[in-house]
Homo-oligomer: A and B are copies of this chain.
Amino acid sequence: MKKIIVASNNEHKIKEIKEILSRFPFEVLSLKEANINIDVEETGSTFMDNAVIKASEIYKIADRNMVLADDSGLVVEVLNGAPGVFSARFAGEHGNTKANNDKLLYLLIGEKEERRKAKFICAMVLIVDEDTMVKVQGEVEGIITAEFSGEEGFGYDPLFFVKEFNKTFAQMTTDEKNSISHRGRALEKLKNELEKLI
């Protein structure tokens, strides 16, 4: 069975990707499972830039297996796209979810719903071989709430409210979230592209 190495060490991300690709005839491996230990600096100015950088760096040492990399983040319209590619380090320190969420709430104090519109975006790159790179992007629209709700998910999920479900991402089950999430939608697009290739 062909292997896809997922270029991430984020357990939540890998779990989501494995679940969504589980119906596919590929063995999905995390970096750890592929015995790859690499720290790629995300120096790009767009999500797609970063996904391409990550996939390319890892493909170099991936023993001709396929490599799937994504870069995701939150984009808030009235903040001119922030936190954007800085989503994981919005408050300065990488991965400090509490500080990132607090900064977001602070910047939106007093704003009405109309001005709390946001999008989660996921740029995804699959390197199939040296000549084939598939790029897709998934998005989901939401509203940044003024209070935290829910315990599931990670990152900005407790503040990201989706009208369709009347829930934040953190209040959804994994299945609910996968069905509409930016990563879910990017993976759906990727599946369509893969079916054309196979």
- A binding-site residues for B, Cβ under 8 Å: 43, 45-47, 75, 79-84, 86, 89-90, 92, 119, 121
Contacts and interface: CB of A to CB of B under 8 A. Distances in A.
Contacts of A46: 79-80, 82
Nearest to A121: B80
Contact of A45 (B82, B119, B121): B82
This chain: how many copies in the complex?
2
Given A45-B82, A75-B80, A79-B81, 17 more contacts: A43-B92, A45-B83, A45-B86, A45-B89, A45-B90, A46-B79, A46-B80, A46-B82, A47-B80, A75-B81, A80-B81, A80-B84, A80-B121, A81-B81, A81-B82, A81-B84, A84-B84
A82 B84 contact: yes
A47 B81 CA distance: 11
Contacts of A45: 82-84, 86, 89-90
Contacts of A90: 45
20 contacts: A43-B92, A45-B82, A45-B84, A45-B86, A45-B89, A45-B90, A46-B79, A46-B80, A46-B82, A47-B80, A75-B80, A75-B81, A79-B81, A80-B81, A80-B119, A80-B121, A81-B81, A81-B82, A81-B84, A82-B84
Nearest to A103: B45
A136 to B, nearest CB: 15
Contacts of A82: 45-46, 81, 84
Nearest to A90: B45
A90 B90 CA distance: 19
Contacts of A83: 45
A92 B121 CA distance: 22
Among A43, A80, A86, A92, which residue has the most Cβ atoms of chain B within 10 A?
A80
A122 to B, nearest CB: 11
